[in-house]
Amino acid sequence: MGNIKDLIKNVASSNQNIETFAAKVIEINKEEESLHNPEDAYTVNIMRADGAIIKNVRLKASIQDLEQGIITIPKKDSWVLASIIDGVETRAFISQFSEIERSFIRFKNDNNQYLEIDIDADKFQMLFKEKEAGETDTTLATQPSYKNIAQIEFFGRQPNISVSFYDENGKEISKNSFNINGQYISINEGNTVFNLQDKEVKVTITDGFEAMVSDAKTSFKKGDLTFEMDDKFKIDKDGNNLLLELENFITEVSRIVVVQGVGPNVTNLLKIKSNLNNLLKK
């Protein structure tokens, strides 16, 4: 099967006929052993209005060139316009679409580096990657391997934006997620999470630290320790409250009975207790 580019040249030079007709897409021929993505598809099977079935109708000019190109994949059971050059079915290609399932673009440079843009109704993805060292175009028959460099994804769901980075071996080292409504930021795949609300910011770190700042109060939590601040301070640890413990201490001191000498000044202790109540809360 020659390239569409060559076929178009032949049509122009020899006045060959191009027949275009409406057809229904009955099968998407996905490339399960694709060099890049098993969801890739380069051809479809269609059925004409008269019931005739035509298989392997092209979605790109060269279905032998698997390294790069622009592909638009129609939805199964959607209607398309298919064209055949000079009545030869092996020269059939999809010329117009009514419904699109997915589109992807794959660019390649001379350094065997790639930019992939993958689009459907739920996401927009950009992936930068390169062919492994030592891999060349002559290794296509032995399934070349690739390593990722960086990836950006935009989703129609939350989180809306995801950014990933990879080391020199293609292993993911960082993945950060963002909500475009300004309410959620996840750094390094949830190790640090920012939740942004109206007049409130909350930071959570996976080792158990949590901080929250709002127009009403500020609080910090680390394990069983809690520190809060609004018009007063609150400190709890393992179910024990600092103000309550200090009040209990003052109460016990005020009960001390001294047989000889001067006993505790209860008035001063009560003043201290009042000051503590102005600083701390339960």
pLDDT tens digit sequence for 33-83: 778 888 889 999 999 989 999 999 999 877 777 778 889 999 999 999 999
Domains of the chain: residue spans and CATH: 1-101 (2.40.50), 109-216 (no CATH), 225-279 (no CATH)
pLDDT tens digit sequence for 245-273: 888 888 877 777 666 566 666 777 777 77
pLDDT bracket for residue 139 (50, 70, 90): very low
Where are any strands of DSSP class E within 143-271? 146-155, 161-166, 172-178, 184-187, 192-197, 200-205, 209-214, 218-222, 225-229, 233-237, 240-241
**Which strand (E) or helix (H) includes residue 276?**
helix 266-279
| 93 in Cβ contact with 1 (< 8 Å) | no
Model pTM greater than 0.85? no
| 242 in Cβ contact with 232 (< 8 Å) | no
**3-class secondary structure, 5:** helix
